[in-house]
Chain A
Amino acid sequence: MTVHRSRKARTIGAALLAVGAMAATLTACSSGSGSSSASTASASGGTYTFWDPYPQYTASSPWAQLVSKCGTEAGVTVKRTAYDTTALTTQALLAGQQGNSPNILLIDNPVVSTLASAGLLTTTAQNGLSTGTIAPNILDAGVISGKTYGVPIGANTLALYYNPKILAAAKVSPSSITSWATLTAALAKVKAIGKKGITFSGINTEEGSFQFLPWFWGAGASLTNVDSPQAIAALTLWTTWIKDGYAPNSVIQDTQTTSWQEFQTGQFAFGENGTWQKTLAAQMGAKVIAIPGENGGSAPVPTGGEFFTIPVQKNTASYATSAKIVSCLSSGSNIVTTDNTLNYIVPTQAGQQAQVSADPSLSSWVSAVGVAKARTGDNLGTKYPIISQQLWTAVQKAESGAATPAGALAAAQSAATAAINK
């Protein structure tokens, strides 16, 4: 009996192993066949693959339904796969290496130049996408040496959220904040009444550079010269805030999410954060102003948001259908609806007008996006990631007191130059 049972157990074990092995081979096969079906799909019917960085939207969400509707209108079935933002970059690179890129790839804007330089993306001249009335400063992240590699789904950017209750208690008028000096004076008043000044994300990842850029550009610094006096002034502003207790020490390791959580405690007067927090901001009664430049005016802010791209396929005939799906997703009322759910600003003027007339509180964001700059712009392209990494390292060193702003930025400049010339 026991012998019998143990033999049975062994058989079951072997069966399980076999099933496992088979499942492994099957998944391997399916990923292969998926690619071949994608590349052989002709304009008349077939399955088109579509990757996006929105895992929060399930198959029943309006976004997923819009994607499949646009596929149906183009006469094909769209198979949508959602990845986490950072995972999507890696996935796109690996798929490119294996020669099975998706038909349509919705990717974070600074990655477009990286993928384009790797030869993975088609230009709008090849795929027939129209860039039409898209604002040039938003489209810029997709333009490398005169060629356009995609169209933006929408744009978001950074601004300064403020807590009106704290500013009222500290007797600071939001409209008085027009330069670094007036902002720092406001922070001093806030600290004097026992509240906390400002929170931002100064972490050593891309988020840290993204958050530092408005101050960096606001001082008039350029990414090609990160140890300029203007750049030093911007970094000194941040480190002085931390030293004087206007910004908490935790900004050194805060992501934009944890920095936002700090702002949400209601103890902070200001929080540098993005368009994507505007719904939560409205819930807590927070308002928004533009990030001031050093000597007045609005500082240029970096654009965030994804681009629709059409990766290179063996079957070039598929581009036309992919372009049809993309223009369905990125035009007319579809894009306005999509950008409203994604908390994005529409990249065209007509779309922006539609958004503002539906929700007047968006007007400050529309003007922020209007002066935003692409991180990979100024023809930096793939040099941007290298410079950005050195920049956030310098920010970290200065914030934590491991180096002076001038010393940290000088080291960053020489490291970036060395890496670019490698």
Chain B
Amino acid sequence: MENPQIPRPRPRNLVLLGCILLVLLVIGAEALRWTRNAHAAAKPSLSAPGAAGPVTLTELSTTHIPAPHGMPSAHASTLTPLPGNRMLAFWWAGSRESGPDVKVFASTWANGAWSAPWVVASRESLGAELGYGVRRIGNPVAWTDRNGKIHLYVVATGLGGWAAARIAHIVSQDGGASFHVRRVLPTSPLFNTSALVRTAPLALNDGGWWLPVYFEIGNKYPMLMAFDADGNPTSLARIGQSTSTLQPAIVAVSQTEVRAVMRDDSDQRRMQHASSVDGGASWQDLPALDLPNHNTSMAALRLPGGQFLMLHNHAADDASARSVLRLSISQDMRSWRTVADVAKGKVGDEFSYPTMQLVGDELHITYTWQRQAIAHHRYRITPGGTI
């Protein structure tokens, strides 16, 4: 009687079959993801048009945001609006810059007053959620999305100084009362280090936003990370070719043209400038502006009437790099006129790291006051006048 034998698959055939399955898995996963992601890049959003022409700025109040108890050092404020003409401010405070006790604090602006500050991020809270250590905490940058979620980007360093910085993306769904880590943004192949934030995001027409980022190990250069309306990153690109500029302040000139003014770390000591005419896809370095910049940060925004405001340090003969904080205005982002010196002190004083936010018809300005507190100025913007 014939002995029937069941044919056994050869090992080589099994390997081939397994390989085909793996490749099909890769192709399937990539195809699925690609079909979900296929959408056009968003364009910068222009603020709602207002009356064009000169405006008047009337100072309404000057104050300091209440400082957390026992925290003598404060720096790097950021503002974001809340519904009902309210506003949130974030900044870091601690015993000293880079100190282990530095934390990010928040305070709410409502009914003409600031609330008591509360902690929103520390190296302990970030480390516990990330699953690995954070050595020091730095600049925060805030954004409120169209669903009311508050996205806070916090500089959190790895092993080393600011050159080892990473950017933690934390999100609040309860108006800033509590935050949870969404992720650390991937920005560099060098252990994901040396990426920082400082300047305010720019709104896009699809509800997303651009987050200005910068790199600073040795060479310094600006970058831009785009987010969709849900706060998920969609792209990352470098701004220009410069290797000595950082902390880009980005303003939309039109739906296709965007300008970035940048802090200058070179011997030129002028405010640096770059432009994109294809909605931020590519950037060209422009000649430096005729404004001094001795390695200090600035803030810029577009008014509803189309003018541009910039808050920057003005280093004159009788001033040091950060002892004068000046508000300037421009029609074209090239020629700037002085509106006022928001803060002016003696040589060695520091009024730095400014931020601006439009809330209704009010312009809010915050900046670092002598590295000890966050100052807050409030102006009313009215059409007509000489500015």
Chains A and B are bound partners: no
